Amino acid sequence: MQDTEKLKLTILEGTVKVYAEKGIKFTMDDLAKHLGMSKKTIYTVYREKQTLFMAMVDHAFDSIKESERKVMEDTTTDTVEKLRRILGVLPDGYRDVDLGQLYILREKYPEIYAKVEERLETGWELTIAIMEQGMREGVLKPVNIGLFKTVFEAALEKFFAKDVLMKEGITYADALDTVVNIMVDGIVVK
């Protein structure tokens, strides 16, 4: 890995940790202190906090896609469990992050919130493939996949759009697991 790419990854991983500790209101000083590097070094890679957040969104969703790929390659997992795991994938580094605070993005950083929405709505190829496979195998009820996708996206977007998770006292990871179970159990052939 090139030095610049390695530095970007170090900064992104540090950002996730600082965000987990301080939430969306963390400062570049907080990040620099956590990383043990100067703000100037961070600014050579990410010229502002908003650019850093945009990169963090891409990094998170790219990590999700990589995890989904690994689930699909797992030959020891049946189709229904693969669907559960793909829908519920959350990168390890993000398990402790309070994603319930992302609703703040909508007002403070609307461009970043729009990017989160865009990434939620794209990249469904593996999920669609496993659902189609499950229907062919007879382990999933024949359902309209487009509608399933819309309902799932709407649930996640609602978590990000309002302080629903904070009000309910539930973490994003636990809420995601609950939604996945409700939706998958609803289409599994019994």
pTM: 0.79
Q: Quick check: 114 pLDDT over 80?
A: yes
Domains of the chain: 1-47 (1.10.10), 65-187 (1.10.357)
Average confidence (pLDDT) over 32-57: 91
In this predicted structure, what is the pLDDT of residue 17? 87
Q: How far is CA 152 from CA 18, 26, 27, 41, 75, in A?
A: 29, 30, 33, 40, 26
Tens digits of residue pLDDT in 87-104: 998 766 666 666 656 667
In this predicted structure, what is the pLDDT of residue 95? 60
Instruction: From 98, 101, 103, 99, select the one nearest 158 (Cα to Cα).
Output: 103
Work out the widest C-alpha separation in the chain, in whole angstroms.
Answer: 59
- Residue whose structure tokens are 């010229």: 47
What do you get for the CA distance between the two ends of the chain, in Å? Answer: 48
Tens digits of residue pLDDT in 128-162: 999 999 999 999 999 999 999 999 988 887 876 66
